[in-house]
Amino acid sequence: MSSLFHNQPPKFFIDGILNADIAILSKAITIIESQNENHQELGEKIIEGIINKTGKSFRLGITGVPGVGKSTFIESFGNEVLKHGHKLAVLAIDPSSDKTKGSILGDKTRMEELSVKENVFIRPSPSSGNLGGVARSTYETILLCEAAGFDFIIIETVGVGQSEIAVSKITDFFLLLMLAGAGDELQGIKRGIMEMADALVITKADGANFEKAKMARSEYAHAMHLFQASESGWIPKTLVCSSTENKGIDEVYKMIEEYKNFTISNGFFSQKRKEQQFDLFLKTIDEQLKHKFYSDPKINAAIEALKTKSSQSNFQPFSLAKKMLDNFFKRNK
């Protein structure tokens, strides 16, 4: 951590965030993301100090395969969000960042217009493999941004892996970007991701591409139609847009507003948030429970010893597991 922020107490960060100090907000996010135990403790205190100022933003998850035009869409859509008087934070989760494949954020030109605007905060989150970790640090980053006054938060993922599921569990709305006529197979988007989407937006409906996009729209609308109705009562929408020509972007915004009003009035909005918070709680319990058990040095040694014995046909997985747990809890008595 840079020396400016070295050894600052929680209050320094809490006050800074509540005063919308972007440099301090950024540093607090770094603290939240850190695996270091002191940072984690500090992070907890910061969250505790700002928790009462959170929860007031709209949380929008956006995903799509590489090449679908996520950055240009967010650039264009972000302007629309600002036009409506919001403060916008864009959090980008990049599972590929530690691979040579190239990070979605490595490209310095991404959202370059949007990033220099007032009331905009853009923050890449190099995810560290661990999905539970993504959910936790992204969720807490949302809270920090909310406390700093950002009331519209976009969480962007790459649409190739499992981070979409994690993100759908901490957002109010899940938007899937698709290309027209990019071939079948739903462009590598898994059916499960389509099923999660509250809306599907076909990008790059520019010039000659427009007709193709409209055709794709009805195809996808049909495909979406086959999925089960969502719990919210909301019928997933299919739209087309051109980010470069700024066409259809306002409709996407309107549709999201419509969703928000619809789900707030039927109670689903708060019900979903409540369930998300409780799910995060239960998931953390499960993770920490395992962590507690497997980080016990005696358990570790016993498991290593068993590994070699597991080739024997008289290895008894169930009773061995039971005995090991009994010993663990006896020792912790």
Positions in the binding site for a second copy (CB under 8 A): 44, 47-48, 51-52, 54-56, 136, 139-140, 270, 273-275, 277-278, 280-282, 284-286, 288-290, 292-293, 306-307, 310-311, 313-322, 324-325, 329, 332-333
C-alpha 77/C-alpha 246 separation (Å) is 9
- Which CB, 33 or 140, lies closer to a second copy? 140
- Which CB, 214 or 290, lies closer to a second copy? 290
- Report, in Å, the least distance between residue 83 CB and a second copy: 27
- Report, in Å, the least distance between residue 141 CB and a second copy: 13
- Which CB, 47 or 197, lies closer to a second copy? 47
- Report, in Å, the least distance between residue 288 CB and a second copy: 5
- Which CB, 23 or 51, lies closer to a second copy? 51
- Report, in Å, the least distance between residue 274 CB and a second copy: 4
Contact 232, 266 (CB under 8 A): yes
- Which CB, 7 or 311, lies closer to a second copy? 311
- Which CB, 147 or 201, lies closer to a second copy? 147
Dihedral angle sign, alpha carbons of residues 141, 143, 145, 148: negative
- Report, in Å, the least distance between residue 326 CB and a second copy: 9
- Report, in Å, the least distance between residue 293 CB and a second copy: 6
Rg of the chain in Å (alpha carbons): 23
- Which CB, 83 or 191, lies closer to a second copy? 191
Helix/strand/coil (H, E, C) string of 119-132? CEEEEEEECCCCHH
- Report, in Å, the least distance between residue 306 CB and a second copy: 7
First-last CA distance in the chain? 39
- Report, in Å, the least distance between residue 312 CB and a second copy: 8
- Which CB, 40 or 246, lies closer to a second copy? 40
